[in-house]
A and B are shown apart, each in its own frame.
Chain A
Amino acid sequence: MAAYGVAVPHKKQLSNGMLGFILFLASEVMFFGGLFAAYFIARADAPEWPPESLLTAEQLARGVELHLELPLTLIATILLVLSSVTIQLAVMQIGKGRRSGMVWWLFISIVLGVVFLAMQMYDYSQLPFGSGDTVFGTTFYTLTGFHGAHVAGGVIFMLVVLVRGLGGQFSSEHHEAVEACSFYWHFVDIVWIALFTTLYIVG
């Protein structure tokens, strides 16, 4: 009879929590996969892209135009990519046991995330089309909107980690939440790079 007990892992492996978190991210990939699929199908079907010819007289009269603002979004993109670097620096700091360094880099990452969101909102307010203006508008607002919601979720995640960091809950040995947070933030960043490439560069 083996004694009932808790197995002590003899080799370093992902913790249960991290494994579960990575599986969660896999499901997120599939969620965005569905939305991207919708975009590409709409695009493949369209007579031209953006599908200007689908605009009704009423939409044209309202001044609807199907084009995107590249310069502002390019700056936002650079900031978001930068925030992936800064959150990784936060992870490296806590890996060396430097709690205040982690807090500072997290704070910078949060600021970059919030600025990204603010720029997205400004962009939304300026764009000459809405979510109801052809499938171009629908896919644009749905894809970027769900991404924006994930950025907001990531900012909240980072705030929680920041507060826990200020409370002294992390050390060089125990900082799984910081790593999970960085995984999530990198995921959000990679989705944005895919979105930016698809919507702005290929588009």
Chain B
Amino acid sequence: MATIAVPRPGEYRRPVVLEWLTTVDHKKLGILYLYFTMFFFAVGGILALLVRTQLAVADNDFVDNHAYNQIFTMHASAMLFLFIIPIWAAFGNYVVPLQIGAADMAFPRINALSFWLLPPAGLLMFAGFLVDGGSAAAGWTAYSPLARTMGTGMDLWIIAVVLLGISSTIGAANFLVTMLRMRAPGMTLFRMPVFCWNIFVTSLLQLLATPVLASALAMLYIDRNFGGSFFDPNGGGNAVLWQNVFWFYSHPAVYIMILPGMGIVSEILPVFSRKPLFGYKAFVFATLGIGGLGFSVWAHHMFTTGAVLKPFFGFMTFMIGVPTGVKIFNWLATMWRGSISFEPPMLFAIGFVSMFLIGGINGTFSAAVPVDFAIHDTYFVVAHIHYVLFGGSVFAVFGGLYYWFPKIFGRRLSDSLGNAQFVLMFIGFNLAFFPMHLLGLDGMPRRIATYNNTDWEFLNMLSTTGAFLIAVSMIPFLMAVVKAFMSPADQPNDPWQGNTLEWYTSSPPPVHNFDDLPEIHSERPLFDLRHGTTGGH
């Protein structure tokens, strides 16, 4: 492939506010995504603390039933739709073009549109608290017919989620074209960093699953506002239809929420173990396998409806444990006999692997149909999703933040404060969510505003203590951020001895990302540069 030199784009100076409002630079948009999502992480976290306060003791009346329903619904909606899913777009935006040696995303203006759909969506969703009947209160799953009976807040929620869906669909197309077409010379698909591969498969899932959610939401909206009967058996509709179309998106969405985290961990583990990622290709195929199987397991959320083919969906759900197990094996084998250094990114990555393993195992429990019948809609399920989404995704988020902070801001987050955050968060997390397994097995139902069984009080109190400990663990993180911004931006290009191209350019990178690129012979071009080519794929 021949290349022609292009003149380096100069810095185009504009007033700061105008620049940030109209930027199409993938790095600035990535930072905007980061601020937006961390804000809603805080909002969702405060709502979680309200939930835990209410549940701390039996027969509590800290909030009333209706308020409680709104709080847990908005906690989940904020955490899933306004924090986890878009924060992967934050990392993806910042890191993917750098890792593939591109100057920007394929469609910078569509990229800006993807971001700017988020603030109105967040506002609309939370505006529900201001209208009659309050915000959406049917859970983040908005099961019908319950969701058909809610107040206006539900409509605002639907519109918000549709906007978020459009954002993530066009964002996905953008990521796919970027990775298919903008890779640096020499970077074949199988030399693409493994984080990019995870974003790639995530984007495929988003592109194909999110529109189905949009169709489901359109049906719900029509049922609620135009007398429709999609989910109303009186008019010939089918209440289970909602669950089918909803989970057809929302199960792949579970992988949308975890795959990029797996990608981040797979970047961190090799760097801090001083070894290549074990089984790069197996890892890539496992990611594709999870993506593919992800479309065939949605009905395991619906075993108790009795309206789905249980053996098939149970079997497929067990199958998805196989590529996931491959990944766990890859991570362990990467660390095996490595020369490991325990800096904060590595701590969070190891935290991810161990906590995600628990989340995977208790998920596989639930794949067994008889077990699922016993634990369906109990706190066991709540424990499971928090082990994968908090123990998994959120640990990966912080791992990624500590890892890429020097690249993004040119400053390094304090190691000691990072260690303190990890220890507090790890203890708090397990304290908050492990007891939920036991509560679930003991039959405590989820989504109830209070309980009168005093046997459950001790474990609930433990869980509440853990939740507040997680909140406390954010203090060292905020201190680390403040401290970093008060110190000079003095980070070298490559503070961690990284493997991938983002560490080749300055920290933070210039507007055009790269002045030049090294030759790329493997998925670790910077390792090759330091140590000579070791031969790649």
Contact = CB atoms under 8 A, between A and B. Distances in A.
A9 B7 CA distance: 19
Among B2, B173, B248, residue most surrounded by chain A Cβ atoms (within 10 Å): B173
B216 interface: yes
A133 B222 CA distance: 13
A3 B3 contact: yes
Contacts of A61: none
Contact of B208 (A8, A27, A41, A131): A27
A31 B211 CA distance: 5
B181 A41 contact: no
B169 interface: yes
Interface stretch (A16-24, A74-82, A104-112, A165-173): A16-24
B210 A27 contact: yes
A138 B235 contact: yes
Interface in B452-510: none
B228 A138 contact: yes
Interface in A40-97: 41-42, 45-46, 51, 54
Interface in B157-216: 169-170, 172-174, 176-177, 180-182, 184-186, 207-216
B514 interface: yes
A146 B218 contact: yes
A53 B523 CA distance: 64
A10 interface: yes
B107 A30 contact: no
A51 B229 CA distance: 12
B219 interface: yes
Contacts of B208: 26-27, 30
Interface string B204-248: 000111111111101100110011111010111110010011001
Nearest to B180: A19
B6 interface: yes
A2 interface: yes
A35 interface: yes
Given A10-B2, A16-B181, A38 B230 contact: yes
B18 interface: no
Contact of B173 (A20, A30, A31, A35): A20
B515 interface: yes
B309 to A, nearest CB: 14
Interface string B1-43: 1111110000000000000000000000000000000000000
Among B230, B235, B244, residue most surrounded by chain A Cβ atoms (within 10 Å): B235
A31 B208 CA distance: 9
Contact of A8 (B1, B170, B227, B244): B1
A1 interface: yes
Contacts of A7: 1, 3, 185
A142 B6 CA distance: 50
A6 B181 contact: no
Given A135-B235, A142-B219, A34 B228 contact: no
Contact of A138 (B169, B222, B516): B222
* Chain A contact residues: helix, strand, loop or mixed: helix
B187 to A, nearest CB: 11
Contacts of A136: 236
Contacts of A19: 176-177, 180-181
A3 B516 contact: yes
Contacts of B222: 131, 138, 142
B519 interface: yes
A168 to B, nearest CB: 24
B271 interface: no
B518 interface: yes
B517 interface: yes
A3 B5 contact: yes
Interface residues of B, number: 57
Given A1-B518, A20-B173, A142-B218, A27 B228 contact: no
B258 interface: no
A131 B227 contact: yes
Nearest to B174: A20
B228 A132 contact: yes
A4 B219 CA distance: 50
Given A38-B215, A135-B229, A138-B230, A2 B241 contact: no
A123 interface: no
Given A7-B185, A16-B106, A132-B226, A24 B173 contact: yes
A38 B241 contact: yes
Contacts of A51: 236
A44 to B, nearest CB: 9
Contacts of B517: 1-2, 4
A149 to B, nearest CB: 11
A42 B177 contact: no
Contacts of B230: 38, 42, 135, 138-139, 142
Contacts of B241: 38, 41-42
A23 B207 contact: yes
Given A10-B1, A135-B237, A34 B211 contact: yes
A203 interface: no
Interface in A119-146: 130-139, 141-142, 146
Among A4, A7, A130, A142, residue most surrounded by chain B Cβ atoms (within 10 Å): A4
B173 A134 contact: no
Given A5-B6, A10-B1, A20 B177 contact: yes
Given A23-B207, A142-B228, A35 B236 contact: no
B207 A27 contact: yes
A99 B454 CA distance: 80
Contacts of B174: 20
Contact of B227 (A2, A42, A132): A132
Contacts of B516: 1-4
A40 B186 CA distance: 48
B212 A4 contact: no
Nearest to B110: A20
Contacts of A23: 172-173, 176-177, 207
Nearest to A25: B173
Nearest to B183: A7
Given A2-B186, A26-B207, A42-B237, 9 more contacts: A2-B516, A24-B173, A27-B208, A30-B212, A34-B245, A38-B215, A42-B230, A54-B235, A142-B219
19 contacts: A2-B185, A3-B5, A6-B4, A10-B1, A20-B107, A23-B173, A31-B214, A32-B215, A33-B215, A34-B213, A45-B238, A46-B236, A51-B236, A131-B226, A134-B235, A135-B236, A138-B223, A139-B230, A142-B230
Interface of B: 1-6, 106-107, 110, 169-170, 172-174, 176-177, 180-182, 184-186, 207-216, 218-219, 222-223, 226-230, 232, 234-238, 241, 244-245, 248, 514-519
